[in-house]
Amino acid sequence: MIDLDAVVSLRAVATQGSVVAAAAALGYTPSAVSQQVKRLERETGVTLLERVGRGVVLSEAGTRLVVASTPILADLERLRADLQLTAATASLVGEVRLAAFSTVVRGLVVPVVAELGRQHPGLSLPLRESEPWETIALVASGQRDLGVVHRWGGVALAMPEPLVETPLFTDMADVILRRDHPLADRDVLHPHDLADERWVATFEATICRQWLRRLFDGVPHAPRIVHESMEFPNHIEIVRAGLAVALVPRLGRGDLGPDLVAIPTADPASTRDVVAVHRRTQADSPALRAALDALVARAASLGS
């Protein structure tokens, strides 16, 4: 009998690129993932992972097993949805594993999880914070069921075919300045207005950082990033201290206080589309549908 949990671990190694990354994505230790794969090798009698340099790659047999298991795991998801439909009453049961980026966690997802928990005590909604690219990989590989991601302006965000997108809302970002800044009385700010400013930004690998760079296309030597932080509240405090300026989304931002101002950008405007993603095979899951509908409803209230 093939252990399906071990197959999921093997698929995670394939999608994440290493045992360590697979363990982080699954919430296991690397040792636990390695043991599951070794147990799977004993059960099947074939080598599934091969060492290359300091890493590992799937063997031909491992690749065949991952490919062949994909429709089986998809059928199991459909079966789970069917069972939920059969057993559905006024209260939902089951689990919907969520993944979302940080600002939407506090600005949208947490209230939804809390309300669904009150309405359906038997419904579990474990939440993981992750960047959009990681969220898409987690949902596509079956490690999460429902994700919330954002797409800035023209920054590409590849969406695998098995995933379905549901638009939620459009968020805007503003340049945060001290009230005594020479540009603080502007209605809008253009990139060339900000060419000489010092910036605080998220890390290089993030979509927000890529958008900040895209904002200054055609403006030489800008943006000049001198501070880095993954937390927008930290960006705001860095601006408050007079150390830099920042581009901060409105979602989950809170009150800036009397000493700061928020000014939108123009040509281009700094907007990001926020969407939910799930696998097509889960479209009939009442638990997932309830979570998705709650996100859509909450997002509509944000827009209004």
pLDDT in tens, 37-66: 888 888 888 887 887 777 787 788 878 877
Rounded to whole angstroms, how far apart are CA atoms 122 and 199? 46
CATH 1.10.1060.10 fits 4-85, yes or no: no
- In the CATH hierarchy, which fold is given to the domain comprising 170-271? D-Maltodextrin-Binding Protein; domain 2 (3.40.190)
Please enumerate in sequence order all residues whose Cβ is within 8 A of that of 33, keeping only pairs 6 or more positions apart, or say none: 9, 12, 13, 19, 22, 23, 26
C-alpha separations of 289 from 96, 100, 232, 276 in Å: 10, 17, 31, 12
Predicted pLDDT at 91: 65
Quote the DSSP letter at residue 235. Answer: H
b/e code 256-275 from CB counts within 10 Å (16+ = b): beeebbbbbbeeeebbbbbb
Closest CA to 200 of 172, 233, 239, 171: 239
Pick the CATH number of 91-167+273-303 from 1.10.620.20, 2.40.128.720, 3.30.70.20, 3.40.190.10: 3.40.190.10
- Do 94 and 116 form a contact (C-beta atoms < 8 A)? no
The model's pTM: 0.72
The beta strands (E) that lie in the chain are given as 49-52, 55-58, 94-95, 98-100, 123-124, 127-129, 146-152, 163-178, 198-201, 224-228, 246-249, 260-264, 271-279
pLDDT in tens, 277-297: 999 988 889 999 999 999 999
Same fold, 4-85 and 170-271: no
Q: How many CA atoms lie within 13 A of 197 on its CB side?
A: 27
- Do 187 and 159 form a contact (C-beta atoms < 8 A)? no
Q: Domain residue spans in the chain?
A: 4-85, 91-167+273-303, 170-271
Split at pLDDT 50, 70, 90, the class of 167 is very high
In the block, tokens 């890390």 appear at 203
Decide the pairing of beta strands 271-279 and 163-178: antiparallel
Predicted pLDDT at 88: 46
pLDDT in tens, 176-232: 999 999 999 999 999 999 999 999 999 998 899 999 999 999 999 999 999 999 999
